[in-house]
């Protein structure tokens, strides 16, 4: 019979095995040892014993076993074989049978690729931490009486005829007189309690250990028993995992006890390091389970709440809670919890017609409350109809009427809101409103003494309101006194019409007319934008409704602007904006400036200072110079828009020199020049 290959869910174990193979291989390479595939771990007890364990890659597993040599060339084990009879005696029958059938399994056509990798991964994982299993699998050897000094060990694969195959694995150096350090205690050990048990969390061991730590032993101390090993075998974790996840959950931990956990790392040879310790109290979460089902029934003068008696010995009692709504808020009716053997509670502080919801919580041994049971609903009978609501008030807003009133002193489910109203001349006088048709606004009662009636675009109308209280048994009160409101006129004024647009002489000018009816328009708003799609912003103050033109002087010549108008009525209602009208602002007329004044000075060098008045906004000064009576005018300085002076640093020493200025607009246009001013030398 062939041994069945492992199922794909064992792939995680195979991956851990391959990680150890690569770890051993990389360490051997770091020591300068060449090898084909896999690696060897070696440890010393410090007293002459050296233990070896090796891990070939699955596709390189030799069929004839192994030969071991040390770095002196001495053969320390001529043949280490899989399924050695002496080694199998230390195993269980099932483990021994699995190892003995391995050659037949490997010969199966199915034992290829990933399936072969999974099989060797599981076998190797079983060997990790179990020297006896590793020895029976032909993956370990112990050397006794090894002389002191560092040595490396070479493990060579053998074929079925006992010849070396070329597969060679090598260890890092090890000294038989120096004990290999044990794995350190697990770092960052913490514990969390929950309904499933105590979760233990710790971080993977450092990757630079001489021998990887892959398994963990867990011992628990409780008040009833000390030193309990809570796992039959060490917990196999491998070398890497998410340190935020639980490494182990102790589902059999004793409840209502302070527990101490001692977690020790174990390496691939099964050597256990010092423990990390943590203490935690584990409460009995089941003691807080609520009783189910909880039932409520009407009784003489009250309500009877019943439940089944609890069986948990750590439950100290029960708290009964009550609410008016299914989702609360709930109030505790028994702040001093009823006894743990109680099964009933009578509530006499109820009023007929009110819906009550009851639930029960268990109390733990330290007075802590558990989660609530499902809520049971009961509605006692109502002796009469509720009184009519009073103090109804109406607050008129922009889009709604807010109604408020005084809640009735009676257990009610809520209120119905009724409205009577028309618009304009159809509005009924208050004296005859009672004879009109009242419309109920809410199909379901509102539990609060507040209601918003959103009227939207309705305007110029009168509405009257009244409130009816409704008890839990559907009995209705008489309607409240009526209150009325009048909605203002919210119709929009007509859209204005832009009749003309002009951008000459450096300004943007509009002419316009109001929309119909004209008397609806109280003001105009002018909007200016930078493109046809830009709605723009309001510029200037609102124009009175009698305005028919507008000028915008805060513009730049040569630029395009888009204008819109919006009408506003006396109630603040805005019309839609007009379509955008584009205006290109032309250049303003450029004046001729006054002649400058010219002063000659030799301090600190001969120069002519030309002074002039600063131009108006949007204009700059250009300074020109002419040498001689008939010379050409040449540009000296400019454009100048933030100064009132220019300097000629090198005026001719003898010929007459004349200076003049002219104004230049932003678009480059220039005006007429000033009269010339002659330089006078002293």
Q: Are residues 601 and 671 in the same domain?
A: yes
pLDDT digit string, tens, across residues 591-650? 899 999 999 998 888 899 999 998 887 789 999 999 988 889 999 998 998 889 999 998
CB 209 within 8 A of CB 20: no
The domain boundary, picked from 557, 584, 611, lies at 584
CB environment 100-139: b (16+ within 10 A), e (fewer): eebeebbeeeebeeebbbbbbbbbbbbbbbbbbbbbbbbb
Residue 220 has pLDDT above 90, yes or no: yes
Cβ–Cβ < 8 Å for 39, 24: yes
Residue 434: per-residue pLDDT: 52
- How far apart are alpha carbons 187 and 610 in whole angstroms? 86
Judgement on whether residues 257 and 314 belong to the same structural domain of the protein: no
Q: Are both 571 and 612 inside the same structural domain?
A: no
Nearest by Cα to 581 from 490, 485, 511: 511
What pLDDT does residue 412 have?
A: 86
Residue 422 confidence (pLDDT): 60
The answer to the question of residue 423 being in a domain is yes
The span from the CA of 315 to the CA of 319, in Å, is: 11
Strand spans (E) along 195-301: 197-203, 213-221, 228-229, 235-236, 248-250, 257-267, 272-282, 295-299
- Domain-located, residue 610: yes
Which structure tokens are listed for 41?
A: 């771990």
Q: Quick count: other Cβ atoms within 10 Å of Cβ 572?
A: 10
E-only strand ranges, 75-139: 75-80
What is the per-residue pLDDT for 11? Answer: 43
The secondary structure of residue 526, as a DSSP letter, is E
Instruction: Indicate whether 205 pLDDT > 80.
Output: yes
**Does residue 286 carry a pLDDT above 90?**
yes
Same domain, 570 and 440: no
Q: Which domain holds residue 331?
A: 286-378
What SS3 class is residue 619?
Answer: strand
Rounded to 5 degrees, φ, ψ at 120 are -65, -30
| Structural domain includes residue 180 | no
Residue 383 placed within a domain: no
- Residue 382 has a pLDDT of 65
* Same domain membership, residue 128 and residue 32: yes
Whether omega before 610 lies within 30 degrees of 0, making that bond cis, reads no
Residue 25 has pLDDT above 60, yes or no: no
Contact 464, 419 (CB under 8 A): yes
411 within 8 A of 496, measured Cβ to Cβ: no
pLDDT above 90 covers a percentage of the chain that reads: 58
Residues 15 and 126 in one domain: yes
Q: Which among 543, 549, 545 has a CA at the least distance from the CA of 520?
A: 545
CA-wise closest residue to 119 among 2, 241, 263, 32: 2
What is the distance between the alpha carbons of residues 607 and 336, in angstroms, rounded to a whole number?
A: 105
Listed in sequence order, the residues at least 6 apart from 662 whose beta carbon sits closer than 8 Å to its beta carbon are: 592, 593, 621, 622, 624, 670, 671, 672, 673, 674
Q: Is 30 in the same domain as 124?
A: yes
pLDDT, tens only, 449-497: 999 999 887 887 899 999 999 987 788 999 999 999 998 888 899 999 9
- 27 and 155 co-located in one domain: yes
Residue 592 lies in a domain: no
Confidence of residue 411 (pLDDT cuts 50, 70, 90): confident
Evaluate whether residue 458 is within a structural domain.
yes
Find the angle CA(84)-CA(90)-CA(96) to the nearest 5 degrees: 60
What is the reported pLDDT for 127? 75
Other C-beta atoms lying within 10 Å of the C-beta of residue 94: 7
301-330 pLDDT, tens digit per residue, is 689 999 998 889 999 999 999 999 999 999
Total domains in the fold of the chain: 6
Taking the C-alpha atoms of residue 162 and residue 435, their distance in angstroms, rounded to an integer, is: 116
Query: Per mean pLDDT, which of 182-186, 484-488, 586-590 is the most reliable?
Result: 182-186
Q: Distance between CA atoms of 422 and 425, rounded to whole angstroms?
A: 8
- Rounded-to-integer distance, Cα 445 and Cα 110, Å: 72
Which CATH number belongs to the domain containing residue 602 in this structure? 2.60.40.10
CA 130 → CA 127, 231, 272, 298, 524, distances in Å?
Answer: 5, 15, 12, 69, 94
Domain finish residue from 252, 282, 312? 282
Identify the band that residue 5 occupies on the pLDDT scale cut at 50, 70 and 90.
very low
* Bridge partners, 627 (sequence order): 657
pLDDT of residue 357: 97
Q: Pick from 106, 141, 175: which residue ends a domain?
A: 175
pLDDT of 35 over the 50 cut: no
| 139: pLDDT strictly greater than 50 | yes
Q: Token pair of 71, please?
A: 């770095």
Segment 345-350 shows an average pLDDT of: 90
CA distance 252 to 261: 13
Q: What is the pLDDT of residue 20?
A: 56
Is residue 181 domain-resident? no
Confidence of residue 39 (pLDDT cuts 50, 70, 90): confident
Q: Tell whether 237 is covered by a domain.
A: yes
For residue 69 the two structure tokens come to 């040599």
pLDDT score of 281: 96
Give CA–CA dist 264/183, Å, rounded: 8
Instruction: Indicate if 142 and 57 belong to the same structural domain.
Output: yes
One domain for residues 44 and 148: yes
Residue 260 has pLDDT above 90, yes or no: yes
Mean pLDDT of 521-538: 95
Q: What is the mean pLDDT of residues 571-595?
A: 90
For the chain, what is the mean pLDDT?
Answer: 86
Q: Tell me, yes or no, whether 140 and 168 share the same domain.
A: yes
CB atoms within 10 A of CB 87: 22
Range 85-107 average pLDDT: 83
Give yes or no: residues 198 and 102 share one domain.
Answer: no
310, 332, 367 from 373: Cα distances, Å? 13, 13, 17
CA 618 to chain centre: 54
């Amino acid at each position: 019979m062939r041994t069945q290959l492992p199922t794909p869910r064992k792939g995680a174990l195979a991956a851990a095995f391959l990680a150890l193979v690569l770890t051993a291989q990389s360490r051997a390479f770091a020591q300068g040892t060449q090898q084909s595939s896999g690696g060897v771990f070696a440890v010393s007890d410090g007293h002459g014993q050296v233990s070896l364990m090796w891990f070939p890659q699955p596709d390189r597993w030799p069929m004839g076993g192994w030969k071991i040599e040390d770095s002196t060339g001495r053969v320390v084990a001529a043949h280490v074989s899989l399924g050695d009879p002496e080694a199998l005696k230390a195993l269980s029958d099932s483990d021994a049978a699995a190892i003995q059938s391995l050659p037949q399994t490997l010969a199966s056509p199915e034992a290829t690729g990933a399936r072969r990798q999974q099989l060797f991964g599981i076998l190797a994982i079983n060997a990790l931490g179990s020297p006896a299993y590793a020895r029976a699998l032909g993956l370990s050897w112990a050397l006794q009486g090894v002389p002191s000094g560092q040595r490396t060990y070479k493990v060579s694969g053998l074929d079925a005829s006992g010849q070396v195959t070329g597969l060679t694995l090598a260890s890092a150096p090890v000294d038989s007189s120096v004990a290999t350090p044990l794995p350190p205690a697990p770092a960052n050990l913490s514990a969390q309690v929950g309904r499933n048990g105590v979760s233990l969390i710790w971080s993977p061991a450092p990757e630079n250990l001489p021998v990887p730590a892959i398994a963990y032993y867990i011992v628990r101390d409780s008040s009833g028993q000390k030193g309990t090993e809570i796992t039959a075998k060490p917990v196999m974790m491998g070398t890497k995992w998410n340190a935020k996840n639980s490494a182990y959950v102790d589902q059999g931990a004793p409840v209502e006890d302070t527990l101490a956990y001692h977690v020790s790392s174990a390496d691939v040879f099964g050597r256990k390091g010092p423990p990390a310790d943590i203490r935690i109290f584990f409460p009995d979460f089941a003691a807080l389970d609520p009783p189910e089902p909880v039932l409520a029934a009407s009784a003489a003068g009250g309500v009877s709440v019943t439940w089944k008696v609890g069986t948990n010995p750590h439950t100290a009692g029960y708290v009964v809670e009550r609410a008016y709504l299914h989702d609360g808020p709930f109030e505790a009716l028994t702040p001093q919890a009823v006894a743990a053997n109680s099964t009933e509670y009578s509530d006499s502080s109820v009023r007929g017609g009110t819906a009550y919801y009851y639930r029960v919580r268990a109390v733990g041994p330290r007075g802590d409350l558990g989660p609530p049971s499902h809520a049971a609903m009961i509605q006692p009978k109502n002796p009469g109809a509720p009184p009519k609501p009073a103090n109804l008030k109406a607050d008129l807003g922009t889009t709604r009427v807010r109604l408020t009133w005084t809640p009735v002193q009676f257990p009610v489910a809520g209120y119905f809101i009724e409205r009577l109203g028309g618009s304009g001349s159809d509005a009924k006088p208050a004296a005859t409103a009672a004879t009109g048709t009242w419309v109920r606004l809410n199909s379901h009662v509102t539990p609060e003494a507040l209601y918003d009636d959103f009227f939207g675009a309705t305007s110029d109308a009168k509405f009257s309101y009244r409130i009816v209280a409704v008890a839990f048994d559907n009995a209705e009160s008489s309607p409240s006194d009526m209150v009325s409101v009048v909605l203002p006129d919210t119709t929009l004024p007509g859209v204005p019409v832009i009749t003309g647009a002009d951008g000459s002489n450096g300004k943007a000018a509009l002419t316009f007319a109001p929309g119909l009816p004209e008397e609806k328009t109280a003001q105009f708003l002018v909007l200016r934008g930078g493109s046809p799609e830009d709605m723009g912003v309001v510029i200037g103050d609102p124009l009175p409704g009698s305005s028919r033109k507008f000028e915008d002087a805060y513009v730049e010549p040569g630029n395009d602007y888009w204008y819109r108008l919006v009408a506003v009525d006396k109630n603040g209602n805005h019309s839609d904006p007009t379509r955008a009208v584009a205006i290109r602002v032309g250049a303003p007329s450029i004046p001729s400036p006054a002649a400058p004044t010219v002063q000659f000075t030799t301090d600190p060098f001969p120069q002519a200072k030309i002074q002039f008045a600063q131009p108006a906004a949007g204009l700059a000064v250009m300074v020109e110079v002419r040498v001689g009576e008939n010379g050409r005018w040449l540009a000296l300085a400019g454009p100048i828009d933030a100064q009132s002076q220019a300097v000629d640093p090198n005026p001719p020493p003898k010929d007459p020199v004349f200076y003049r200025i002219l104004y230049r607009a932003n678009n480059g246009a220039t005006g007429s020049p000033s009269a010339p001013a002659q330089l006078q030398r002293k």
